[in-house]
Amino acid sequence: MKRLKLLFLFFLIILTQKVYSNDTIVYNNEKTIQSIGNSIYLLKDESNLLNFNDVINSNEFEKSKDNVPNVGISTNTFWIRFTVKNELANRRILLQLQYPILDEVVFYSPIGNNKFDSILAGELLPFHERKINNQNHLFYLDIQQGEASTYYMKVRSGEQIQLPLLIGAQQPVYEDLIQKDLVFGLYIGIILVMAIYNLFVYFTVRDKSYLYYVSYIVFVGLTQAVLQGYGFKYLWPNSTWLVLQSTFLIPVLNGWTAIAFVKHFLNTKETYPLGNKILNGIFIFYTACFVLSIMGEFYYAQNLVQLTAMIGSLLTIYIAYKIGKQGYRPANYFLVAWTIFLLSVVVFVLRNFNMLPYNNLTFYALQIGSALEVTLLSFALADKINIYRKEKEESQLEALRISQENERIIREQNIMLEVKVEERTHELNLSNLELNTALTDLKNAQTQLVDAEKMASLGQLTAGIAHEINNPINFVSSNIKPLRRDIEDIQSIIKKFEDVIAAQNIDDKFAEVRQFKKELDYDYLTHEIDVLLKGMSDGAGRTVEIVKGLKSFSRLDESDLKYANINDGIDSTLIILSSTFRGKINIVKELGVIPEIECFAGKLNQVFMNIINNAAQAVLTTHANDDEGKVVIRTQSNGDNVSVHIIDNGIGMTEEVRSKIFDPFFTTKKAGEGTGLGLSIVYSIIELHKGTIEVKSESGVGTEFIITLPLIQ
């Protein structure tokens, strides 16, 4: 049974090689390095559970379309399959995976008898355990001349996964690696020179910008060392945990130091406070990357750190541009240096997102950009010293010029001071005289306006009294004439009876009297007299009631604080104003049982009159043609206070109008219809009683005045 399985596996491999023979990679040149990315097949293992036997039997491999396959940042495992045919006598071919920051790399090579040997690589393996001592992943392909072999590779990583796969003879591959080492060595040399130089300058001038810049340079270099695999090779070869974390932590530290340097170098706190806040926000995002990395969330950390680097670089250019427009010269140097660095970051990120090809330009973009940046920023810092020196000299010259100018001005001012003081004193005397005159005129005008408002209220009061007294007087005057006629008729009847008494023919006279009574309708006559007398009595009583209400409203006999029931004041006010809204507005009285309060009753009646009259006018404006207009007057006791609510469903007020109604002279009435002092006087009276007045109103709905008065002053 075991032999049958092996035989089946053998035929399966042979069949697989025949099926994909058209995609076989032909190795036929020992002097060049050949890229094989577009000749490999990829299988995505979303479950991360497939073993090697599952993979070689899978038919879900898909051919790569890119010269350098880029699968992005992924938590999945990827399997690679490719077939190489050797047409040269040299059977030792070197395979290079030129992307150091991969967590796990397993290379499967056939060793005969349908068996495969697995070689471990990647950052999960200590560096000294690698088969070939290099930061890139190198594997030997042992293929006889004229034969072809199929190979498999397993790749998994928490960072960006790119697959720049190359094959070539040992010599050109090692020459290419040495060339890359030389380029990186030159880059690190530039970084170290700039760091040491600026550190020396810091100890000389003690400007913290240099210290922040040295920290930034160091982490820029470390970032490149990590991305190129040199950090794992030289700095922490035995710490797999540190090599995994460094891919995220070093860029975060780079971002932190960059923000600190930018803030101090551009002095953003003073020159552009908004930019300072933006940089603080970028700092927070880098901190989030740090936390995600420590928690092991490499997928989210990698995405966030790349996004933060891109957005942060763009925002930094914007901030430098805004500060440069203010005339701050160091910002212009910074803008040029940072723009070059940003372009390299953009190229790097676009390469990672497979929008730019993987080649030498995109490979070295960050190194070139950062090297130019640190060099130009060093020049900018040096220029900053020159600026400080120039500013100091200019400030000294300016201070001397200002001192001389001040001496001249003082001499001139001493000469002119006395003249100006005399002129100013004279002007002030004239101004004081004018102000006193204006104040006197203003007080007179204010007194006249208050008197005018009082006269307006008095006129309204007089009109109401005249209208109300006119009705009962009409009762009396209109009943006098028919009463006199009825009395004359009764006197005629009495005279008839006197004639009867004097006459001898009594029966005939009585008959004549009876006929006369019938003609005069004596029964109706007596009834009409009763009705007329009752009407006159009602008219006289109504007159007495009006006079009593007038006395209660005016309280002319009360000039001091006295206890009074405000319900009585509201009733007397409604009597005076009844002619204004009788038959037009529904007055709803909800007067509660309240205690007497210490107050100036006459002044409070003026408050009620003004507010109720305004409410009636507001209701008539909206409900002039219907009978839905309503004014509700409610009183209630609230502990040590009583409150009066006057509610109407009139036109209401906007918020703008509501905020001004208590201002003197403010009115919404037409010219000549009001002085604008009514509610101002109301407010003064409420303040006099140490109470409060609140207004709630909505345009088109209605208004509510809430007056709160204490029981004791």
Element at 481 (helix H, strand E): helix 360-502
Lowest mean pLDDT segment, chosen from 5-14, 86-95, 339-348, 427-436 = 5-14
281 within domain boundaries: yes
Tens-digit pLDDT profile for residues 565-624: 889 888 888 877 777 776 788 889 999 989 999 998 888 888 888 898 888 888 888 887
Whether the pLDDT of residue 183 is over 60: the answer is yes
Whether the pLDDT of residue 539 is over 70: the answer is no
Give how far Cα 510 sits from Cα of 487, 498, 523, 691, Å. 21, 11, 17, 78
The model's confidence at residue 412, banded by pLDDT at 50, 70 and 90, is confident
Do 158 and 272 sit in the same domain of this protein? Answer: no
The pLDDT value recorded for residue 1 is: 43
DSSP letter (8 states) at residue 24? P
Do 163 and 185 sit in the same domain of this protein? Answer: no
- What pairing do the DSSP bridges indicate for beta strands 25-27 and 77-86? parallel
Which of 504, 524, 552 corresponds to the end of one domain? Answer: 552
Q: How many CA atoms lie within 13 A of 528 on its CB side?
A: 17
Whether the pLDDT of residue 467 is over 50: the answer is yes
Residue predicted with more confidence, 663 or 106: 106
427 within domain boundaries: no
Do 523 and 634 sit in the same domain of this protein? Answer: no
Lowest mean pLDDT segment, chosen from 160-164, 212-216, 405-409 = 405-409
Give the C-alpha separation, 514 to 520, whole Å: 10
The pLDDT value recorded for residue 463 is: 54
76 within domain boundaries: yes
Q: How many Cβ atoms are within 10 Å of 485's Cβ, its own excluded?
A: 12
pLDDT winner (highest mean) among 166-170, 250-254, 332-336: 166-170
Q: Which two tokens stand for residue 82?
A: 């490719």
Which of 519, 552, 585 corresponds to the end of one domain? Answer: 552
501 within domain boundaries: yes
Lowest mean pLDDT segment, chosen from 116-120, 260-264, 515-519 = 515-519
Give how far Cα 701 sits from Cα of 18, 518, 647, 697, 698, Å. 89, 64, 11, 8, 5
Tens-digit pLDDT profile for residues 42-74: 999 988 889 999 899 888 999 988 888 888 888
The pLDDT value recorded for residue 470 is: 62
> What 3-state class would DSSP assign to 426?
helix
Q: Which two tokens stand for residue 149?
A: 């072999």
693 within domain boundaries: yes
Q: How many Cβ atoms are within 10 Å of 294's Cβ, its own excluded?
A: 12
Give the C-alpha separation, 686 to 667, whole Å: 20
Number of structural domains in the chain:
4
> What 3-state class would DSSP assign to 568?
helix
Residue-averaged pLDDT of the chain:
79
CATH number of the domain encompassing residue 30: 2.60.40.2380
Tens-digit pLDDT profile for residues 677-711: 778 888 888 988 899 999 999 888 899 999 999 98
Do 284 and 359 sit in the same domain of this protein? Answer: yes
Do 513 and 564 sit in the same domain of this protein? Answer: no
CATH number of the domain encompassing residue 651: 3.30.565.10
Task: State the residue range of the domain holding 462.
Answer: 439-552
425 within domain boundaries: no
Contact 324, 331 (CB under 8 A): yes
Do 509 and 641 sit in the same domain of this protein? Answer: no
Do 487 and 572 sit in the same domain of this protein? Answer: no
Whether the pLDDT of residue 333 is over 50: the answer is yes
Q: Which residues pair with 152 in a beta bridge?
A: 81, 108
Whether the pLDDT of residue 80 is over 90: the answer is yes
Q: Which two tokens stand for residue 219?
A: 């982490």
> What 3-state class would DSSP assign to 312?
helix
Do 348 and 283 sit in the same domain of this protein? Answer: yes
Amino acid at site 67: N
DSSP per residue, 643-682: EEEEEE-SS---HHHHTTTTSTT---SPTTS--S-HHHHH
30 within domain boundaries: yes
Checking 342-349 for CB contacts under 8 A at 24+ apart, the result is: 342/313, 342/314, 342/316, 342/317, 342/369, 343/369, 344/368, 344/369, 344/370, 344/373, 345/309, 345/310, 345/313, 345/369, 346/310, 346/313, 349/306, 349/309, 349/310
Mean pLDDT of 14-30: 63
Give the C-alpha separation, 51 to 152, whole Å: 12
Give the C-alpha separation, 220 to 251, whole Å: 8
The model's confidence at residue 77, banded by pLDDT at 50, 70 and 90, is very high
Tens-digit pLDDT profile for residues 488-520: 777 677 776 767 666 666 777 777 777 777 777
Give the C-alpha separation, 146 to 188, whole Å: 44
Do 383 and 457 sit in the same domain of this protein? Answer: no
Do 189 and 153 sit in the same domain of this protein? Answer: no
The model's confidence at residue 374, banded by pLDDT at 50, 70 and 90, is confident
Tens-digit pLDDT profile for residues 624-654: 778 888 899 999 998 889 999 999 998 888 8
Q: Return the C-alpha torsion angle 182, 184, 186, 187, nearest 10.
A: 170
Q: Is 226 exposed, middle or buried (0-12, 13-18, 19+ CB in 10 A)?
A: buried
Q: How many Cβ atoms are within 10 Å of 21's Cβ, its own excluded?
A: 11
Do 113 and 243 sit in the same domain of this protein? Answer: no
Do 503 and 382 sit in the same domain of this protein? Answer: no
CATH number of the domain encompassing residue 285: 1.20.1070
